[in-house]
Structure 1
């Protein structure tokens, strides 16, 4: 049986990941050929939220035909002869899982917290009072509009397709948009497709699509927060796999 391992231990494979409960979830993840199925599951739960104990993995080829159930946690991934671009499907077996019922995808299911103006004004340190204090001190100029070319000079070395890193939190990704954003405040913005689901949207902001990416992978920031260069995708779990 051991002869079935067709990819060397020091070689990697990129698989497309889908999820039984998260219909909009799709990702591409790199694994090593000698990674055990248990280690693969451990890496995947950090990305999708399904616990290792509740996870069943299925491997599909390029044409969508099921190759195998990856049911033996002790076997290496390479035993099942995966190829680049094969699909690894996560089946969440826990009916009470956080991923079930659409809670992670449909925000309309989340009960919104509301507070009356009277109750809000009674709060000692609310944001409204903070802004009023700043306005009174002259720190905020009410009604002042930013110029249309605000921060344009920071965009001179940023172009679509550049790898980049965002200074706040050191998130990495690919530049997908550079320019003015009519649904945001005046000036120049940079849209980024993040490597990990650490963003706020899928490239659509306030009803306007600026670029296309997976849900929660999109972010639009001011260009002074973006550094372009040789920033490869971070994968801190590769060493464990």
Structure 2
């Protein structure tokens, strides 16, 4: 019976987990940041504690010296025997385990893991940026050339109106609400089963073209995406329009869809012999 009692008391399973777990604050000699509410089991060896702490601070167990401090920061002892259980040192909730990194070449020394000013930044010259295509600067210049009053806020409102199927208004006038024939012409040019790319770079297959109950009036395109970037499984408001896995389906306005030869992105890569992914 005594042997059975000792076995049960030493068990680290879920049954005794609450009683054998202690919540500690972890600090580090080279880091300003502290790790709050780290839960450790009192039955863990000091060596196991060091291995777990390595994942938080990066200091290998062989370079760790662990100090136990109380809530006021007073040193209570050093966890200097890797074979002993953590419970031997009687830590309590709210105590601190302070890690001293003894490696003089440690990456955490001298603020290298926290002081971003020490990291060399990539700086692109104005000439190099100007030579690039598809930058925001060139997009903005093109928009201002067409409309001197263009702003990013207006552009976002325009795209939102287009997504909802509203007719684009003249400057200073409210957007016209969609009706049953909104984007009918755009929808007529889209064939079910065609490969497509939706505005924003999402690719997939057209599975439905038509009106959708519960969504704003007008025409919609149901797309089965190649990746889980959608919002549904081909159904809307409880009615199914096509079949696909959850998260792979979406309904968008026809003006946001371009059909053509749009293979899945992973098929765009052409590996020569000897290449390895």
Larger Rg: 2
Higher relative contact order (CA 8 A, sep 6+): 1
